Every structure is written in structure tokens, then in C-alpha cells.
Amino acid sequence: MQTLSKASLAESATQSIRAEIVSGRWSVGAKLPNEANLSATLSVSRGTVREAVRVLVAQGFLETRQGSGTYVLSSTDPSKTLDMARRTSLRDQFEARCALDVEAARLAALRHTPKVIADLRRLLAERGNYEGGEKAEFITRDLAFHKAVIAASGNRALMEIYDFFSATITETIEATISAEVPEPDMQAHADIIDAIETGNADNASAAVRRFMAPVFSALDKLLLS
């Protein structure tokens, strides 16, 4: 590692440690040198090392284990993956979102409880229809409903993926309250809940596909125009 300059020490330390991880010097599962050794190697204070580690934990590169140390969790920069996803076409984004929503609804139909259904109906009522005004607030309410459907699947991996791509999913929601594609109304959302409540996985999957069908139709027309 290179000795750091005095400017932006925490940022430089973060970049140096990240570079070692991405380069493969520290592989996934490897334990990092202790704080004192990193401090000496980087020629920064131990406080600066702690801040760099905190940032890399938040970014998904590292994890800290109480009483054990700091370990490499991933060697892939998640921000690059997210940026690549956000550079895809709007239709690609809707197709990916549809795949997640369909599978989540299917599993939710098999695993839901009365409380889950009640919570979904409450969130849908809070969502309401978009009638102009502050878009960000409506998007937050709409996203809360759809994340609750994902959570109802009981599949932690689906929830993590949905959270990871929340920025991209937010963009698809924003597109439906613009002039680009139609915003599914309250009934279309309620139909998903009703299908989940039946306990029939195929019904739930079909409800999501019907929900998305007008959006894909509008996108196809835009591509042809």
C-alpha cells in the first residue's frame, strides 16, 4: 500500500483498503490485519482506520465480528452493479421488477398470514392514488406497499435484492406517474392482495402479470413511435 497524504485521510484510507480487496490481495472470508497494523501500514491514525472500515462495512465490502475482527465480505463493488442496472432501458428495469414481484406474490400466496393481508390493505389505503402534488411522497408510499409484498414472500434473498435495487425500482414507479407509462390504479393493486389471500400461487402470479401488462403495452408503443 502507498503512504497516504494528509488530505482526506479517511477517504484515502477507504480507497486503499478497497483497492486491496478488489485486487484480490484479501480474498472473500479473509481477516484484515488488526487496527494497529493497518494504522502503521497506511500511516494514519487508528481513528482514521476505524472510519475507513465503517465506510467499507456500509458499502458491503467488509463485516465486523464482535470479538473476532474484520473480514472481507465481498470483493465486488456494489455501486458499479447498481449503476449498470440504472443504465439499462426502462423496459429492462420493469421486466426485472416484474420477475421479482411475480415470484414474491407467488410465495406470499403460500405463506401469508391474516396479519400480512391486513398490513397490505393498510399500506394500500395509505398509498392512495396519485392525484398530482409531491411525487416523492407518493413514490415512498407506493414503494412501501410493494416492499411489503416482497416481505410477505418470506424470502430474505428476495427482500435483499429488492432493497439493493430500490433506486432502480423507484425510477420505474416515477415513470408510471409521468406521461411515459400508465400508473396501475388502486384496484390493480388490490387485485394482487386478493389473489395472495386466496392462497393460490398461480392466481397471485397472474395478478402481478395483469398489473404489469398495461405498462409493457405502453412501453412497446413508445419503442415503435
- Delimit the domains of the chain by residue range: 9-76, 80-224
pLDDT, position 87: 52
**Was domain 80-224 assigned CATH 3.10.28.10?**
no
pLDDT, position 64: 87
Block residue for cell numbers 426502462: 90
d(CA 60, CA 198) in angstroms, rounded, equals: 38
pLDDT, position 2: 44
Q: Which residues of the chain have pLDDT under 50?
A: 1-7, 82, 84-85
Domain 9-76 architecture:
Orthogonal Bundle (1.10)
pLDDT, position 5: 45
pLDDT, position 162: 87
Question: How big is the chain by its Cα radius of gyration, in Å?
Answer: 22
First to last CA, the chain: 54
Question: In terms of C-beta density within 10 A (0-12 exposed, 13-18 middle, 19 or more buried), how is residue 58 classed?
Answer: exposed
pLDDT, position 190: 97
